[in-house]
Amino acid sequence: MSVKHRELVVEDKSYPFAHCKLGREKYAKVLTEIIKAYHTGFVLAINSRWGTGKTSFIKMWEQDLKNQSLQTIYFNAWENDFEDNPLVALMGELKTITQETNKEQFKKALKSAATLSKHIIPLAAQAIADRYINTQLLRDTIVSITEGTTDIFENEVNDYANKKASIKEFRKSLSEFISETNSAKPLIFFIDELDRCRPNYAVSILEQIKHFFSVPNIVFILSIDKVQLGNAVRGVYGSDKIDSDEYLRRFIDIEYSLPSPEKGTYYNYLYTYFEFDNFFKSTSRNDYRELKSDSNEFLQMAEILFDDTPITLRQQEKIFAHARLALRSFKINEYVVPIIFLLLTYIKLINEELYNQIRSKTLSLKELQKEFKLIVGSKLTQDQERSFMWVEAQLVLYYNNSLYNSYNRNNIYINDETGKKLILKSVISPTKDIDFIETFERIDSNKRTGHLDLGHFINKIDLTANVQL
Protein backbone atom coordinates (compact mmCIF):
# COMPACT_ATOMS: atom_id res chain seq x y z
CA MET A 1 0.00 0.00 0.00
CA SER A 2 1.29 3.45 -0.92
CA VAL A 3 0.98 6.40 1.48
CA LYS A 4 1.92 8.93 -1.18
CA HIS A 5 0.76 9.38 -4.73
CA ARG A 6 3.76 8.86 -6.99
CA GLU A 7 4.93 11.41 -9.54
CA LEU A 8 3.51 10.77 -12.98
CA VAL A 9 5.71 8.70 -15.25
CA VAL A 10 4.52 8.27 -18.81
CA GLU A 11 5.05 4.53 -18.95
CA ASP A 12 3.41 3.78 -22.29
CA LYS A 13 5.11 6.28 -24.56
CA SER A 14 3.10 5.09 -27.55
CA TYR A 15 -0.10 6.14 -25.75
CA PRO A 16 0.86 8.74 -23.10
CA PHE A 17 -2.73 9.30 -21.93
CA ALA A 18 -3.25 5.61 -21.18
CA HIS A 19 -3.23 6.24 -17.41
CA CYS A 20 -4.89 9.65 -17.42
CA LYS A 21 -7.65 9.43 -14.83
CA LEU A 22 -9.15 12.82 -15.64
CA GLY A 23 -10.11 12.35 -19.29
CA ARG A 24 -7.87 15.15 -20.54
CA GLU A 25 -6.63 13.67 -23.81
CA LYS A 26 -9.34 15.58 -25.69
CA TYR A 27 -7.92 18.90 -24.46
CA ALA A 28 -4.45 17.96 -25.71
CA LYS A 29 -5.89 17.28 -29.16
CA VAL A 30 -7.51 20.73 -29.27
CA LEU A 31 -4.28 22.45 -28.25
CA THR A 32 -2.22 20.43 -30.71
CA GLU A 33 -4.46 21.60 -33.54
CA ILE A 34 -3.87 25.20 -32.44
CA ILE A 35 -0.11 24.66 -32.61
CA LYS A 36 -0.34 23.12 -36.05
CA ALA A 37 -2.53 25.95 -37.28
CA TYR A 38 -0.31 28.73 -35.93
CA HIS A 39 3.12 27.15 -36.00
CA THR A 40 4.90 30.42 -36.81
CA GLY A 41 5.28 31.07 -33.12
CA PHE A 42 3.27 32.30 -30.13
CA VAL A 43 2.95 32.00 -26.37
CA LEU A 44 0.19 29.78 -24.97
CA ALA A 45 -0.66 29.82 -21.24
CA ILE A 46 -2.27 26.77 -19.64
CA ASN A 47 -4.07 28.39 -16.73
CA SER A 48 -5.29 26.40 -13.73
CA ARG A 49 -4.96 26.58 -9.96
CA TRP A 50 -2.12 24.96 -8.07
CA GLY A 51 -2.70 21.29 -7.48
CA THR A 52 -5.09 20.69 -10.37
CA GLY A 53 -2.83 18.40 -12.38
CA LYS A 54 -1.24 20.83 -14.85
CA THR A 55 2.18 19.17 -14.68
CA SER A 56 0.78 15.69 -15.29
CA PHE A 57 -1.21 17.00 -18.25
CA ILE A 58 1.80 18.75 -19.74
CA LYS A 59 4.05 15.70 -19.44
CA MET A 60 1.50 13.49 -21.17
CA TRP A 61 0.86 16.11 -23.85
CA GLU A 62 4.59 16.62 -24.43
CA GLN A 63 5.05 12.90 -25.12
CA ASP A 64 2.04 12.97 -27.43
CA LEU A 65 3.66 15.80 -29.42
CA LYS A 66 6.91 13.84 -29.62
CA ASN A 67 4.95 10.93 -31.06
CA GLN A 68 3.83 13.32 -33.81
CA SER A 69 7.49 14.10 -34.66
CA LEU A 70 7.51 17.51 -33.01
CA GLN A 71 10.58 18.68 -31.12
CA THR A 72 9.88 19.57 -27.49
CA ILE A 73 11.72 20.96 -24.48
CA TYR A 74 10.45 20.69 -20.90
CA PHE A 75 11.76 23.25 -18.42
CA ASN A 76 10.70 23.32 -14.77
CA ALA A 77 11.22 26.97 -13.88
CA TRP A 78 10.69 26.43 -10.15
CA GLU A 79 13.44 23.81 -9.94
CA ASN A 80 15.85 26.09 -11.79
CA ASP A 81 15.23 29.52 -10.28
CA PHE A 82 18.60 29.30 -8.50
CA GLU A 83 19.99 30.77 -11.73
CA ASP A 84 19.74 34.56 -11.55
CA ASN A 85 19.68 35.11 -15.31
CA PRO A 86 16.91 33.14 -17.06
CA LEU A 87 18.66 33.66 -20.39
CA VAL A 88 21.39 31.27 -19.22
CA ALA A 89 18.83 28.64 -18.23
CA LEU A 90 16.81 28.96 -21.44
CA MET A 91 19.89 28.68 -23.60
CA GLY A 92 21.04 25.72 -21.53
CA GLU A 93 17.78 23.94 -22.35
CA LEU A 94 18.17 24.72 -26.05
CA LYS A 95 21.64 23.23 -25.94
CA THR A 96 20.11 19.83 -25.14
CA ILE A 97 18.65 19.58 -28.66
CA THR A 98 21.83 20.44 -30.57
CA GLN A 99 22.97 17.99 -33.22
CA GLU A 100 25.68 17.89 -35.85
CA THR A 101 23.35 19.61 -38.28
CA ASN A 102 22.61 22.61 -36.08
CA LYS A 103 25.52 22.98 -33.67
CA GLU A 104 27.08 25.84 -35.66
CA GLN A 105 23.81 27.79 -35.57
CA PHE A 106 23.60 27.19 -31.83
CA LYS A 107 27.14 28.49 -31.33
CA LYS A 108 26.20 31.70 -33.15
CA ALA A 109 23.06 32.09 -31.03
CA LEU A 110 25.07 31.38 -27.87
CA LYS A 111 27.68 33.97 -28.81
CA SER A 112 24.97 36.56 -29.40
CA ALA A 113 23.33 35.64 -26.13
CA ALA A 114 26.63 36.09 -24.30
CA THR A 115 26.99 39.59 -25.74
CA LEU A 116 23.36 40.38 -25.04
CA SER A 117 23.61 39.16 -21.46
CA LYS A 118 26.11 41.90 -20.65
CA HIS A 119 23.48 44.54 -21.40
CA ILE A 120 20.61 43.06 -19.37
CA ILE A 121 19.78 45.13 -16.31
CA PRO A 122 18.96 42.62 -13.59
CA LEU A 123 15.29 43.25 -12.95
CA ALA A 124 15.41 42.21 -9.30
CA ALA A 125 18.20 44.64 -8.45
CA GLN A 126 16.43 47.56 -10.11
CA ALA A 127 13.03 46.73 -8.63
CA ILE A 128 14.37 46.21 -5.13
CA ALA A 129 16.43 49.37 -5.31
CA ASP A 130 13.47 51.46 -6.45
CA ARG A 131 11.18 49.96 -3.85
CA TYR A 132 13.27 49.82 -0.71
CA ILE A 133 16.17 52.24 -1.02
CA ASN A 134 15.32 55.80 -0.05
CA THR A 135 18.58 57.63 -0.57
CA GLN A 136 19.63 58.41 -4.11
CA LEU A 137 23.27 57.81 -3.33
CA LEU A 138 22.75 54.30 -2.01
CA ARG A 139 20.38 53.39 -4.85
CA ASP A 140 22.87 54.57 -7.45
CA THR A 141 25.64 52.64 -5.70
CA ILE A 142 23.71 49.34 -5.75
CA VAL A 143 22.69 49.66 -9.38
CA SER A 144 26.18 50.80 -10.35
CA ILE A 145 27.73 47.72 -8.76
CA THR A 146 25.19 45.51 -10.55
CA GLU A 147 25.99 47.12 -13.88
CA GLY A 148 29.70 47.20 -13.29
CA THR A 149 29.86 50.92 -14.14
CA THR A 150 30.08 54.24 -12.38
CA ASP A 151 27.84 56.18 -14.68
CA ILE A 152 24.52 54.45 -15.39
CA PHE A 153 23.10 57.00 -17.79
CA GLU A 154 26.22 57.39 -19.90
CA ASN A 155 26.69 53.64 -20.25
CA GLU A 156 23.04 53.16 -21.16
CA VAL A 157 23.40 55.66 -24.01
CA ASN A 158 26.63 54.09 -25.23
CA ASP A 159 25.22 50.57 -25.04
CA TYR A 160 21.92 51.36 -26.74
CA ALA A 161 23.11 50.68 -30.28
CA ASN A 162 25.01 47.58 -29.20
CA LYS A 163 21.97 46.24 -27.40
CA LYS A 164 19.73 46.66 -30.45
CA ALA A 165 22.30 44.96 -32.65
CA SER A 166 22.75 42.14 -30.16
CA ILE A 167 19.04 41.46 -29.96
CA LYS A 168 18.71 41.45 -33.73
CA GLU A 169 21.67 39.13 -34.15
CA PHE A 170 20.46 36.81 -31.39
CA ARG A 171 17.01 36.46 -32.91
CA LYS A 172 18.46 35.79 -36.36
CA SER A 173 20.84 33.12 -35.04
CA LEU A 174 18.12 31.57 -32.88
CA SER A 175 15.70 31.42 -35.80
CA GLU A 176 18.30 29.68 -37.97
CA PHE A 177 19.04 27.20 -35.17
CA ILE A 178 15.38 26.29 -34.75
CA SER A 179 14.87 25.99 -38.48
CA GLU A 180 17.73 23.48 -38.69
CA THR A 181 16.54 21.58 -35.62
CA ASN A 182 13.33 20.02 -36.92
CA SER A 183 12.93 20.67 -40.64
CA ALA A 184 11.07 23.94 -40.11
CA LYS A 185 8.52 22.35 -37.78
CA PRO A 186 7.81 24.34 -34.63
CA LEU A 187 9.82 23.80 -31.48
CA ILE A 188 7.50 23.39 -28.48
CA PHE A 189 9.11 24.88 -25.36
CA PHE A 190 7.21 23.98 -22.17
CA ILE A 191 7.85 26.15 -19.11
CA ASP A 192 6.26 24.56 -16.07
CA GLU A 193 5.74 25.81 -12.48
CA LEU A 194 6.33 29.43 -13.50
CA ASP A 195 3.95 30.69 -10.81
CA ARG A 196 5.95 28.95 -8.04
CA CYS A 197 9.25 30.69 -8.84
CA ARG A 198 10.76 33.64 -7.07
CA PRO A 199 8.63 36.57 -8.32
CA ASN A 200 11.52 38.42 -9.93
CA TYR A 201 12.68 35.26 -11.72
CA ALA A 202 9.20 34.53 -13.07
CA VAL A 203 8.77 38.07 -14.38
CA SER A 204 12.26 38.02 -15.87
CA ILE A 205 11.44 34.83 -17.82
CA LEU A 206 8.36 36.52 -19.26
CA GLU A 207 10.33 39.60 -20.21
CA GLN A 208 13.07 37.62 -21.95
CA ILE A 209 10.66 35.38 -23.85
CA LYS A 210 8.95 38.50 -25.15
CA HIS A 211 12.04 40.50 -26.06
CA PHE A 212 14.54 37.85 -27.12
CA PHE A 213 12.69 34.68 -28.13
CA SER A 214 9.92 36.09 -30.33
CA VAL A 215 11.09 34.29 -33.45
CA PRO A 216 9.34 32.09 -36.02
CA ASN A 217 8.69 28.42 -35.28
CA ILE A 218 9.03 28.49 -31.51
CA VAL A 219 5.91 27.98 -29.41
CA PHE A 220 6.15 28.60 -25.67
CA ILE A 221 3.69 26.75 -23.42
CA LEU A 222 3.49 28.35 -19.99
CA SER A 223 1.96 26.36 -17.16
CA ILE A 224 0.60 28.95 -14.75
CA ASP A 225 -1.83 29.83 -12.02
CA LYS A 226 -2.72 33.26 -13.35
CA VAL A 227 -3.79 34.58 -9.95
CA GLN A 228 -0.48 33.61 -8.32
CA LEU A 229 1.55 34.90 -11.25
CA GLY A 230 -0.35 38.19 -11.05
CA ASN A 231 0.62 38.42 -7.37
CA ALA A 232 4.25 37.91 -8.38
CA VAL A 233 4.00 40.76 -10.90
CA ARG A 234 2.59 43.13 -8.29
CA GLY A 235 5.21 42.01 -5.80
CA VAL A 236 8.12 42.69 -8.15
CA TYR A 237 6.93 46.16 -9.04
CA GLY A 238 5.88 46.92 -5.48
CA SER A 239 2.35 48.07 -6.19
CA ASP A 240 -1.07 46.51 -5.69
CA LYS A 241 -2.47 48.97 -8.21
CA ILE A 242 -0.80 47.30 -11.18
CA ASP A 243 -3.33 45.63 -13.50
CA SER A 244 -1.64 42.23 -13.61
CA ASP A 245 -4.10 40.86 -16.19
CA GLU A 246 -3.24 43.67 -18.59
CA TYR A 247 0.45 43.21 -17.86
CA LEU A 248 0.32 39.47 -18.64
CA ARG A 249 -1.53 40.08 -21.90
CA ARG A 250 1.67 41.64 -23.22
CA PHE A 251 3.34 38.24 -23.03
CA ILE A 252 0.53 35.70 -23.55
CA ASP A 253 -1.06 35.35 -26.97
CA ILE A 254 -3.51 32.56 -26.14
CA GLU A 255 -4.86 31.57 -22.75
CA TYR A 256 -6.43 28.16 -22.15
CA SER A 257 -8.08 27.30 -18.85
CA LEU A 258 -7.82 23.61 -18.12
CA PRO A 259 -11.36 22.34 -17.41
CA SER A 260 -12.08 20.64 -14.10
CA PRO A 261 -12.50 16.86 -14.25
CA GLU A 262 -15.97 15.35 -14.19
CA LYS A 263 -17.54 14.85 -10.79
CA GLY A 264 -16.25 11.88 -8.86
CA THR A 265 -13.52 11.02 -11.32
CA TYR A 266 -10.51 11.76 -9.16
CA TYR A 267 -11.63 10.72 -5.70
CA ASN A 268 -12.91 7.40 -7.04
CA TYR A 269 -9.49 6.89 -8.62
CA LEU A 270 -7.74 7.78 -5.35
CA TYR A 271 -9.99 5.37 -3.45
CA THR A 272 -8.77 2.56 -5.71
CA TYR A 273 -5.15 3.78 -5.82
CA PHE A 274 -4.79 3.81 -2.02
CA GLU A 275 -6.51 0.41 -1.75
CA PHE A 276 -9.21 1.37 0.76
CA ASP A 277 -11.14 -1.80 -0.07
CA ASN A 278 -8.26 -3.88 1.28
CA PHE A 279 -9.50 -2.67 4.66
CA PHE A 280 -13.21 -1.94 4.19
CA LYS A 281 -13.93 -5.12 2.24
CA SER A 282 -11.44 -7.47 3.85
CA THR A 283 -12.70 -10.98 4.53
CA SER A 284 -12.49 -10.58 8.29
CA ARG A 285 -14.32 -7.27 8.29
CA ASN A 286 -17.12 -8.58 6.10
CA ASP A 287 -18.01 -11.03 8.84
CA TYR A 288 -19.64 -8.07 10.61
CA ARG A 289 -22.87 -7.15 8.86
CA GLU A 290 -23.02 -3.58 10.21
CA LEU A 291 -19.59 -2.78 8.70
CA LYS A 292 -20.41 -3.80 5.13
CA SER A 293 -21.66 -0.34 4.14
CA ASP A 294 -18.43 1.45 5.15
CA SER A 295 -16.96 1.69 1.64
CA ASN A 296 -20.18 3.21 0.26
CA GLU A 297 -20.42 5.67 3.14
CA PHE A 298 -16.80 6.72 2.66
CA LEU A 299 -17.40 7.53 -1.02
CA GLN A 300 -20.68 9.26 -0.24
CA MET A 301 -18.83 11.57 2.14
CA ALA A 302 -16.16 12.13 -0.52
CA GLU A 303 -18.93 13.24 -2.87
CA ILE A 304 -20.18 15.75 -0.30
CA LEU A 305 -16.71 17.13 0.36
CA PHE A 306 -15.19 17.21 -3.12
CA ASP A 307 -17.91 17.66 -5.74
CA ASP A 308 -18.41 21.31 -6.73
CA THR A 309 -15.84 22.62 -4.26
CA PRO A 310 -12.58 24.58 -4.63
CA ILE A 311 -10.58 21.68 -3.17
CA THR A 312 -7.74 20.92 -5.60
CA LEU A 313 -6.70 17.49 -6.84
CA ARG A 314 -3.51 17.75 -4.81
CA GLN A 315 -5.50 18.48 -1.66
CA GLN A 316 -7.79 15.53 -2.36
CA GLU A 317 -4.72 13.36 -2.76
CA LYS A 318 -3.27 14.45 0.59
CA ILE A 319 -6.59 13.88 2.37
CA PHE A 320 -6.93 10.36 0.95
CA ALA A 321 -3.29 9.51 1.68
CA HIS A 322 -3.61 10.65 5.30
CA ALA A 323 -6.95 8.86 5.73
CA ARG A 324 -5.49 5.61 4.41
CA LEU A 325 -2.54 5.85 6.79
CA ALA A 326 -4.79 6.64 9.77
CA LEU A 327 -7.04 3.72 8.83
CA ARG A 328 -4.23 1.38 9.84
CA SER A 329 -4.85 2.39 13.45
CA PHE A 330 -8.30 0.76 13.41
CA LYS A 331 -8.71 -2.85 14.37
CA ILE A 332 -10.28 -5.03 11.73
CA ASN A 333 -13.56 -5.22 13.70
CA GLU A 334 -13.54 -1.61 14.95
CA TYR A 335 -16.10 1.00 13.96
CA VAL A 336 -14.69 3.59 11.55
CA VAL A 337 -17.90 5.55 10.92
CA PRO A 338 -16.51 6.74 7.54
CA ILE A 339 -18.72 9.83 7.39
CA ILE A 340 -17.13 11.34 10.51
CA PHE A 341 -13.68 9.85 9.94
CA LEU A 342 -13.29 11.39 6.47
CA LEU A 343 -14.91 14.68 7.52
CA LEU A 344 -12.43 15.12 10.38
CA THR A 345 -9.50 14.15 8.15
CA TYR A 346 -10.68 16.75 5.64
CA ILE A 347 -10.91 19.43 8.35
CA LYS A 348 -7.44 18.59 9.67
CA LEU A 349 -5.79 19.11 6.29
CA ILE A 350 -7.94 21.99 4.98
CA ASN A 351 -8.69 24.00 8.14
CA GLU A 352 -6.18 23.15 10.84
CA GLU A 353 -7.38 25.96 13.11
CA LEU A 354 -10.89 24.53 13.18
CA TYR A 355 -9.52 21.02 13.73
CA ASN A 356 -7.51 22.20 16.72
CA GLN A 357 -10.59 23.89 18.18
CA ILE A 358 -12.52 20.63 17.85
CA ARG A 359 -9.69 18.65 19.37
CA SER A 360 -9.29 21.06 22.30
CA LYS A 361 -13.08 21.21 22.76
CA THR A 362 -13.15 25.03 22.70
CA LEU A 363 -16.17 25.25 20.39
CA SER A 364 -19.75 25.15 21.54
CA LEU A 365 -22.19 22.80 19.83
CA LYS A 366 -23.75 25.72 17.96
CA GLU A 367 -20.35 26.99 16.83
CA LEU A 368 -19.50 23.55 15.50
CA GLN A 369 -22.79 23.50 13.59
CA LYS A 370 -21.98 26.87 12.00
CA GLU A 371 -18.58 25.60 10.88
CA PHE A 372 -20.19 22.50 9.41
CA LYS A 373 -22.64 24.66 7.49
CA LEU A 374 -19.72 26.64 6.03
CA ILE A 375 -18.19 23.41 4.74
CA VAL A 376 -21.28 21.97 3.06
CA GLY A 377 -23.84 24.76 2.89
CA SER A 378 -22.96 26.12 -0.53
CA LYS A 379 -24.01 22.92 -2.29
CA LEU A 380 -26.97 21.99 -0.14
CA THR A 381 -30.04 21.07 -2.21
CA GLN A 382 -33.45 19.87 -1.18
CA ASP A 383 -32.61 16.36 -2.38
CA GLN A 384 -29.50 16.27 -0.20
CA GLU A 385 -31.07 17.81 2.88
CA ARG A 386 -31.73 14.56 4.73
CA SER A 387 -28.24 13.18 4.03
CA PHE A 388 -26.57 16.37 5.21
CA MET A 389 -28.74 16.45 8.33
CA TRP A 390 -27.60 12.93 9.16
CA VAL A 391 -23.94 13.98 8.95
CA GLU A 392 -24.68 17.05 11.07
CA ALA A 393 -26.42 14.95 13.72
CA GLN A 394 -23.57 12.44 13.93
CA LEU A 395 -20.98 15.20 14.22
CA VAL A 396 -22.97 17.04 16.90
CA LEU A 397 -23.72 13.87 18.87
CA TYR A 398 -20.11 12.68 18.96
CA TYR A 399 -18.88 16.15 19.87
CA ASN A 400 -21.51 16.31 22.62
CA ASN A 401 -20.15 13.00 23.91
CA SER A 402 -16.68 14.59 23.99
CA LEU A 403 -17.88 17.65 25.90
CA TYR A 404 -20.16 15.86 28.37
CA ASN A 405 -20.73 12.12 28.27
CA SER A 406 -22.42 9.57 26.10
CA TYR A 407 -25.62 9.64 28.16
CA ASN A 408 -26.11 13.40 28.51
CA ARG A 409 -28.40 14.76 25.79
CA ASN A 410 -29.70 17.81 27.65
CA ASN A 411 -27.87 20.21 25.34
CA ILE A 412 -29.44 18.60 22.27
CA TYR A 413 -32.96 17.69 23.35
CA ILE A 414 -34.91 17.13 26.56
CA ASN A 415 -37.83 14.94 27.59
CA ASP A 416 -40.91 16.60 29.05
CA GLU A 417 -44.55 15.59 29.48
CA THR A 418 -45.18 16.05 25.74
CA GLY A 419 -42.20 13.98 24.65
CA LYS A 420 -38.80 14.98 23.32
CA LYS A 421 -38.22 18.70 22.78
CA LEU A 422 -35.35 19.91 20.59
CA ILE A 423 -32.89 22.32 22.22
CA LEU A 424 -30.41 22.50 19.36
CA LYS A 425 -31.94 23.21 15.97
CA SER A 426 -30.41 21.87 12.78
CA VAL A 427 -28.46 24.37 10.66
CA ILE A 428 -29.21 22.20 7.62
CA SER A 429 -32.98 22.02 8.14
CA PRO A 430 -33.93 24.60 10.81
CA THR A 431 -37.67 23.96 10.45
CA LYS A 432 -37.58 20.17 10.68
CA ASP A 433 -37.27 19.64 14.42
CA ILE A 434 -39.01 16.28 14.44
CA ASP A 435 -36.76 14.90 11.69
CA PHE A 436 -33.67 16.12 13.55
CA ILE A 437 -34.76 14.48 16.82
CA GLU A 438 -35.56 11.24 15.00
CA THR A 439 -32.09 11.31 13.42
CA PHE A 440 -30.47 11.58 16.87
CA GLU A 441 -32.65 8.74 18.14
CA ARG A 442 -31.63 6.50 15.24
CA ILE A 443 -27.93 7.15 15.88
CA ASP A 444 -28.41 6.62 19.62
CA SER A 445 -30.28 3.40 19.04
CA ASN A 446 -27.06 1.77 17.87
CA LYS A 447 -25.49 0.94 21.20
CA ARG A 448 -22.11 0.24 19.59
CA THR A 449 -21.67 3.61 17.84
CA GLY A 450 -24.02 5.98 19.68
CA HIS A 451 -21.62 6.28 22.61
CA LEU A 452 -18.55 7.22 20.50
CA ASP A 453 -16.91 10.61 20.90
CA LEU A 454 -14.67 12.51 18.49
CA GLY A 455 -11.57 11.46 20.40
CA HIS A 456 -12.13 7.96 19.00
CA PHE A 457 -11.33 9.34 15.55
CA ILE A 458 -8.95 12.18 16.41
CA ASN A 459 -6.38 9.92 18.12
CA LYS A 460 -6.15 7.86 14.96
CA ILE A 461 -6.17 10.80 12.56
CA ASP A 462 -3.39 12.43 14.61
CA LEU A 463 -1.52 9.09 14.28
CA THR A 464 -1.22 8.84 18.06
CA ALA A 465 -3.03 5.50 18.26
CA ASN A 466 -1.19 2.22 17.75
CA VAL A 467 -0.88 1.19 14.12
CA GLN A 468 -2.34 -2.24 13.39
CA LEU A 469 0.17 -4.26 11.34
Q: Which amino acid is at 304?
A: I
Residues linked to residue 254 through DSSP beta bridges, in sequence order: 44
Handedness of CA 455, 457, 458, 459 (dihedral sign): positive
pLDDT tens string 326-380: 999 999 889 999 999 999 999 999 999 999 999 999 999 999 999 999 998 777 7
Question: Contact at 8 Å (CB) between 175 and 215?
Answer: yes
Domains of the chain, residue spans:
25-257, 265-461
For residues 45-55, one letter each, b for 16 or more C-beta atoms within 10 angstroms of the residue's C-beta and e for the rest, the string is bbbbbebbbbb
CATH architecture of the domain formed by 25-257: 3-Layer(aba) Sandwich (3.40)
Q: Which of 377, 386, 319, 313 is nearest to 350 (CA)?
A: 319
- If you count them, how many residues does the chain have? 469
Separation between Cα atoms, residue 140 and residue 157, nearest integer Å = 17
pLDDT at 465 (0 to 100): 72
Strands 413-416 and 419-422: antiparallel
Q: Which residues of the chain have pLDDT under 50?
A: 121-133, 135, 138, 149
pLDDT at 380 (0 to 100): 74
